[in-house]
Amino acid sequence: MRKVKVPVDMSSEQKNFLGVISKRQLIYIAIGAVLLHTYIPMIWKMIADNNLIIAGIVCVVAALPVLIVVLPLAFIYKEKQHMFLDQYLYIKYKRRSERGRWIRG
């Protein structure tokens, strides 16, 4: 019987919660859920008196901006840079502040 040595993948995150999502992803999902919970019930109460279908459509449309921001930050992995999208954007933002004239001393 042949033995095969499997390399340890040190770059991936540990999936702590049910073996599906990591702490970082859970934090993003929790923040998104709290944001949605703050304004979606208010929108539902304003519109649900008239028509439930329209209220549902408006609530889905109102939730899209939060979902479009939170889900990619939590789950998109950039293969070329070997990091998640939130880490990549943070590094790009920090690099922008370092532009300017540098004087050699």
Return the closest-CA partner of residue 59 out of 72, 71, 49, 45.
Answer: 45
Residue range(s) defining the domain that contains residue 57:
23-95
Q: Establish if 44 belongs to a structural domain.
A: yes
How sure is the predictor about 101, in pLDDT bands with cuts at 50, 70 and 90?
Answer: low
Report whether pLDDT(14) > 80: no
Q: Establish if 101 belongs to a structural domain.
A: no
Report whether pLDDT(25) > 70: yes
Q: Establish if 105 belongs to a structural domain.
A: no
Q: Establish if 103 belongs to a structural domain.
A: no
Q: Establish if 66 belongs to a structural domain.
A: yes
Rounded to a whole number of angstroms, the CA Rg of the chain reads 21
Please tell me whether the overall predicted TM-score, pTM, comes out greater than 0.75 for this model: no
What's the longest Cα–Cα distance across the chain?
A: 71
Residue 25: both structure tokens together: 């992803």
Q: Establish if 48 belongs to a structural domain.
A: yes
Report whether pLDDT(11) > 60: no
What's the pLDDT tens digit per position in 38-49?
Answer: 999 998 988 888
Report the domain count for the chain.
1
